[in-house]
Structure 1
């Protein structure tokens, strides 16, 4: 019976022991789980210490650990040597499991942690050990470190407009974000923005310019970047041209201002309710197209685009279409020769000029007068113009030459050529531009026309060819020479084998400068000789055979406006005293006033 009782006692003891172990085990498990729930990179309390050094010695102090080199797949750490320390233990933090695992032990003061993932966050914990005393320091946790992210791949640019483009690339899951850099063709890249995904829209562009972009991913902070993407070139679109259309005889003309950044233009025509490319014009300044051989009184529709070539990627960037323009070719009459305002002598004598200005009426020689051509209509290379404004007049050989410009600015300026004897229009010279053509003179071989600060020549032999061929008009593609002057050229005359060029100013006195002409028969050259001061508001000049200088002066058409004047002044200039030093004119006669 005693033996049985002993067995019962033993069994009871074992049961109590197992129960206590179960309680202890459960408590340990609960404590571990509780510790794991509270753990983070800075919490080292749950680290299971490796090796024999378990006791923390307050005299063993390990300083901060620094990441000295970071690559895409590795981190190099370094720290100061700890006195009496013989080794250093390293633990790597598992961000998924939220716990530290033993990584390595080293006797040096640096380690290279390799085999890491690109663009990921890492923490490491360190402590120093004195193997002789089996004691260690407290844990030191490294600062947050991200490895370098991957390189941006599949970078493209699309959706180009005049002010924006859209950049797209393959998103990198581990990247925190992306830094966008932009440069012009010179390559001076500057940061323009950041993105959190694989797309970025740049809305700060100027129309018609070439740009290049680079993108770099970063992880953690913008200081921790990966390898830059290759540069990708693109262009913002040129602006759509602003087109003006005009119908002429069996033709239509489209014109537009030059578009910034354009390398040329495409002209499209509507055929059977569908637009097709009609022609391509190369060059930014090639901003006019005349469609010929059309049928009069029929409707034609067009639009124009500007394009820009990108020499860096071989692409062509085309603007949006201009507003659709409709043109109707129509017959254009010949240049008119009839008067515009006063159809007869009797009507002209009833004009305000004759009635109110007795000097003008007294000196008027109507028999020698003639109507300036083109005032009702000028045929400018088969385009009609009823807004020509007469400017200068000169006599060359047996012809009168009268300049005029289009007051609306649509057509090029012209020179009407009339015979000296019967004042009949024989041809019209169409100038290469829309010059104001304020003055004209003839030196025996060349016509000279003023424009701004230039004198431009037309060889008379060029005009003679058109006269011999009896062409209704001569369209010049260029001038003979274009000479820039030091002063404004408002008007010009030819006297004593010199060209005399006068300037215009509403408020300040101007100048009359004489020029010697050389190489008249080829490419003329001008040399300034003499300078004479002139009054304000000079419009035209002429020397009489006895050396008197007749100066027409005018400004404004409304007497209430500042500077209003309409008069002729007659002077006797002292040309002997004139030199490169300004000399004054000597008044010869009172002005002949014209106040209509």
Structure 2
């Protein structure tokens, strides 16, 4: 009965917000991707309007919020968004991860692109993409602070903001087993991918050079136009999109890939609707966020995705990549 109730709530929210897409057309265009999509999905809030603050802390309606980052905690699904017109502070939507109901909207203290979100479950900390002049940065917010955040239009405070040496921008983030992974989006050259260990206090365990934090590991090359990164067992998943072209998810075997920017080494390339942003792995499920529902893009593609979609990873990756699992385990 509880599952039926949750599904009814999700259906009603999709109906009332116009979140249904043309199933037949989009399924025919991207059959491999949609064949693995599960029934549960989460409507993205604020695509038409949301209350935020200007840089002068004036309460104002924003019609241009554009979803970017995605992560899950034990109880919540978090979506970051920035104002495409650069007039309002960026925000994080807090959704119930079971029902998809928006609980609150958290206003950030600045206007970052907020292209990546990551959650550290050991230290109950949210990592957010940011910038600091010519360098990438990551900011942190305690999960406890998000839970205590009041509905009044005030900004939440960052716990810390850390400037990274290797990258000019932090375009995508993910957390996995005590490490924060940061990727750089590029248009005309290979992207970059860095790994930062997290210490027992929940801080980046790194070398400091002239106030800049440096990764103790080598920087890896990745393909151009990478919007999201996720790790599933021994696989690295990279989401790519730019403009009206189809999005793609590149699947690499971490143990056997010599060059992650070489698409010939990818185990699998999965086509998705355009404007794919962050992807997130939870168990055997993949969550995918799109920005095509935002005002800047919704008229540029017939495949407008207003929901966070949830896919069965085992079905999506099928036997080709399952062989890689077996080879990795037997090595």
TM-score w.r.t. length of structure 2 = 0.65
Provide Cα deviations, 1:93-150, integer angstroms capped at 9, x if missing partner: xxxxxxxxxxxxxxxxxxxxxxxxxxxxxxxxxxxxxxxxxxxxxxxxxxxxxxxxxx
Give the 5 Å matches for 1:244-259.
none
1:401/1:473 Cα in 2 relative to 1: closer, same or farther (>3 Å)? farther
SS of residue in 1 equivalent to 2:43: coil
Q: CA deviation at 1:379?
A: 2.1
The question of 1:462 aligning with 2:145 is answered yes
- Residues 458 and 479, structure 1, Cα contact 8 Å, conserved in 2: yes
Looking at structure 2, the residues matched to 388 and 339 of structure 1 have their Cα atoms a distance apart, in angstroms, of 19
Give the structure 1 partner of residue 33 of structure 2. 360
Give the structure 1 partner of residue 255 of structure 2. 574
Aligned counterpart in structure 1 of residue 51 of structure 2, from 374, 379, 389? 379
Looking at structure 2, the residues matched to 385 and 425 of structure 1 have their Cα atoms a distance apart, in angstroms, of 17
Q: CA deviation at 1:520?
A: 3.6
1:460/1:541 Cα in 2 relative to 1: closer, same or farther (>3 Å)? same
Q: CA deviation at 1:536?
A: 1.1
Give the structure 2 partner of residue 508 of structure 1. 189
Give the structure 1 partner of residue 84 of structure 2. 407
Q: CA deviation at 1:376?
A: 2.2
- Residues 228 and 240, structure 2, Cα contact 8 Å, conserved in 1: yes
Give the structure 1 partner of residue 329 of structure 2. none
Aligned counterpart in structure 1 of residue 235 of structure 2, from 535, 539, 548? 548
Q: Give the paired residue count.
A: 238
Looking at structure 2, the residues matched to 414 and 340 of structure 1 have their Cα atoms a distance apart, in angstroms, of 25
Looking at structure 1, the residues matched to 153 and 79 of structure 2 have their Cα atoms a distance apart, in angstroms, of 14
Looking at structure 2, the residues matched to 344 and 525 of structure 1 have their Cα atoms a distance apart, in angstroms, of 39
SS of residue in 1 equivalent to 2:170: coil
Give the 5 Å matches for 1:485-500.
485=164, 486-487=166-167, 488-500=169-181
Q: CA deviation at 1:478?
A: 3.5
Give the structure 2 partner of residue 117 of structure 1. none
Give the structure 2 partner of residue 424 of structure 1. 101
Larger radius of gyration: 1
- Residues 440 and 450, structure 1, Cα contact 8 Å, conserved in 2: yes
Give the structure 1 partner of residue 204 of structure 2. 525
Aligned counterpart in structure 2 of residue 584 of structure 1, from 248, 254, 259? 259
Give the structure 1 partner of residue 23 of structure 2. 349
1:572/1:340 Cα in 2 relative to 1: closer, same or farther (>3 Å)? farther
What are structure 2's unaligned runs of at least 5 residues? 1-11, 54-58, 207-214, 274-302, 304-331
Give the 5 Å matches for 1:124-143.
none
**Greater RCO between the two (CA within 8 Å, min separation 6)?**
2
Q: CA deviation at 1:392?
A: 0.8
Larger fraction in helix:
2
Give the 5 Å matches for 1:68-87.
none
Provide Cα deviations, 1:157-196, integer angstroms capped at 9, x if missing partner: xxxxxxxxxxxxxxxxxxxxxxxxxxxxxxxxxxxxxxxx
Give 4+ residue runs of structure 1 displaced > 4 Å after superposition: 337-342
Give the structure 2 partner of residue 446 of structure 1. 125
1:454/1:405 Cα in 2 relative to 1: closer, same or farther (>3 Å)? same
- Residues 171 and 182, structure 2, Cα contact 8 Å, conserved in 1: yes
Looking at structure 2, the residues matched to 338 and 434 of structure 1 have their Cα atoms a distance apart, in angstroms, of 29
The question of 1:484 aligning with 2:163 is answered yes
Give the structure 2 partner of residue 436 of structure 1. 113
1:384/1:441 Cα in 2 relative to 1: closer, same or farther (>3 Å)? same
The question of 1:396 aligning with 2:73 is answered yes
SS of residue in 2 equivalent to 1:383: strand
Looking at structure 2, the residues matched to 474 and 497 of structure 1 have their Cα atoms a distance apart, in angstroms, of 34
Q: CA deviation at 1:395?
A: 0.6
C-alpha RMSD of the superposition: 2.6
Q: CA deviation at 1:477?
A: 5.1
1:419/1:344 Cα in 2 relative to 1: closer, same or farther (>3 Å)? closer
- Residues 537 and 553, structure 1, Cα contact 8 Å, conserved in 2: yes
Give the structure 2 partner of residue 35 of structure 1. none
- Residues 393 and 402, structure 1, Cα contact 8 Å, conserved in 2: yes
TM-score w.r.t. length of structure 1 = 0.37
